[in-house]
Amino acid sequence: MDATPDLDRLIAFYHDLTPESIARFPEFYSADAYFKDPFNEVRGLEAIQRIFRHMFQQVETPRFVVTERVADASGVMLVWEFCYRVRLWGRGETQVMRGVSHLKFAADGKVNYHRDYWDAAEELYMKLPAIGSLMRGLRKMLAA
When pLDDT is cut at 50, 70 and 90, the band that residue 1 belongs to is very low
The per-residue pLDDT of the chain, averaged, comes to: 87
Contacts 24+ apart (CB under 8 A), 71-78: 71/7, 73/1, 74/104, 75/102, 75/103, 75/104, 75/105, 75/113, 76/5, 76/7, 76/102, 76/103, 77/101, 77/102, 77/103, 78/11, 78/103
The pTM of the full predicted model, rounded to 2 decimals, is 0.82
When pLDDT is cut at 50, 70 and 90, the band that residue 6 belongs to is very high
Q: Residue 20 pLDDT more than 60?
A: yes
In a domain, 142, yes or no: no
Per residue in 54-72, pLDDT (tens digit) is 999 988 899 999 999 999 9
**What is the CATH classification number for the domain harbouring 87?**
3.10.450.50
In a domain, 104, yes or no: yes
In a domain, 24, yes or no: yes
pLDDT of residue 73: 86
In a domain, 135, yes or no: no
In a domain, 109, yes or no: yes
Q: Residue 91 pLDDT more than 90?
A: no
Number of domains in the chain: 1
Host domain of residue 58: 7-118
- By mean pLDDT, which of 61-70, 101-110, 111-120 is the weakest? 111-120
